[in-house]
Amino acid sequence: MGTILEVQDLKKYFRTPKGMLHAVDGINFKLEEGQTLGVVGESGCGKSTLGRTILHLLESDGGRIIFEGKDITRISHKALKETKKEMQLIFQDPFSSLNPRMSVSELIAEPLKLFKMGSKNEIDRKVSDLMEVVGLAERLSNSYPHELDGGRRQRIGIARALALDPKFIVCDEPVSALDVSIQAQILNLMQDLQEEKGLTYLFITHDLSVVKHISNQIMVMYLGNTVELADHEELFQHQYHPYTKALLSAIPLPVAGKKREKILLKGEITMPIDPAPGCRFASRCPYACVECHREDPKLEEVCTGHFVACHKVKEINQL
């Protein structure tokens, strides 16, 4: 397996009446083929913007996106159209992402027709195969989204994402709108498809239990920056950044009568509009020093494969 996706110093800003919003501000990572990178953080930290910028649904303001060894940061419309066959998106809300006037079979066939992927008979066969792959009964082919439950609607979204035989899929909180019992079904389906087809996922979520279940690596984001990046088992055993420690302290222990001591964050959240130099978590961090308010921390390897962006990481963790 090789590196399928590399993101280098990626930036995405939005102009607002008060200044420039730094939604994604210098993100770096490599993603190996057939692996899953989980991206976690609070709402508004830039997770979804990161995924959409990689897919060119939003154009970046800096940095590079390298897919299968090719720089796709700035490419022609024709080349981008071909690249988009290899890179797809599963949306968060399975209801609002589907056209309510189209039946299940029409929704799944739509990307195949847009890219002219065969004759009508070939497309019909492909749709039937996709429905079987994602666990949709053939009797539902003429049903409409409002007639189905959330789990079946999300299966349609997955079938649409698979229609063009992509290699890389951004999963933007694909189970957050579903009941817990349905979440497990969809997660298991996605893992089975990954193993069968060799898919690579960027899995965006705010649910740490979900990300532990499905990810190989986990990246923790805070206000547009990466604060910690590690293997999923390593991250759940050792958290070195104060923000990651607080996030994981909120996960309930699956043992009756036992409770984890929660770390409550205090202080004002830093304004992400034209932020001043310094760590963006400093205003809420109990360990912040003068340096934290003056200089941006760099993402550095503190142990094998475990990266942290914190000026005080060694003192906090006695490394």
For residue 13, which phi and psi values (nearest 5 degrees)? -115, 155
For residue 302, which phi and psi values (nearest 5 degrees)? -95, -25
| Angle, helices 150-162/104-114, rounded to nearest 10 degrees | 20
pLDDT of 98: 92
Q: What is the SS3 assignment for 243-284?
A: HHHHHHHCCCCCCCCCCCCCCCCCCCCCCCECCCCCCCCHHH
Give the pLDDT mean for 182-186. Answer: 88
pLDDT of 254: 64
Instruction: Report DSSP state, residue 4.
Output: E
User: What angle is formed at CA 42 by the lines to CA 38 and CA 46, rounded to 5 degrees?
Assistant: 70
Token output for 88 = 């797809």
pLDDT per residue as tens digits for the range 289-315: 999 999 999 999 999 999 999 999 999
pLDDT of 259: 64
Whether residue 263 is predicted with pLDDT greater than 90 in this model: the reply is no
Cα 98 to Cα 81, 200, 202, 237: the distances in Å are 21, 23, 21, 39
Task: Please state the pTM of the whole predicted model.
Answer: 0.92
Whether residue 20 is predicted with pLDDT greater than 90 in this model: the reply is yes
Strand partners, 204: 39, 172
Q: Which secondary structure element, helix H or strand E, spans residue 191, and what is its range?
A: helix 180-197
Give the pLDDT band of residue 255 (cuts 50, 70, 90).
Answer: low
Mean pLDDT of the chain: 92
Whether residue 260 is predicted with pLDDT greater than 80 in this model: the reply is no
Separation CA 197–CA 182 (nearest Å): 22
Cα 132 to Cα 140, 168, 174: the distances in Å are 11, 21, 20
Show Cβ contacts of residue 313 under 8 Å, excluding neighbours closer than 6 positions.
Answer: 240, 241, 300, 302, 319
Give the pLDDT mean for 147-167. Answer: 93
Give the pLDDT band of residue 73 (cuts 50, 70, 90).
Answer: very high
Whether residue 188 is predicted with pLDDT greater than 70 in this model: the reply is yes
Whether residue 142 is predicted with pLDDT greater than 80 in this model: the reply is yes
Superfamily of domain 3-86+206-317: P-loop containing nucleotide triphosphate hydrolases (3.40.50.300)
Whether residue 253 is predicted with pLDDT greater than 70 in this model: the reply is no
- Hey, what amino acid is at 26? G
Give the pLDDT mean for 123-141. Answer: 95
Whether residue 70 is predicted with pLDDT greater than 90 in this model: the reply is yes
pLDDT of 110: 95
Whether residue 256 is predicted with pLDDT greater than 80 in this model: the reply is no
53-67, 73-87, 225-239, 285-299: the lowest-pLDDT one = 73-87
pLDDT of 19: 95
Tell me if 272 sits within 8 A of 223, measured CB to CB: yes
Domain map (residue ranges) of the chain:
3-86+206-317
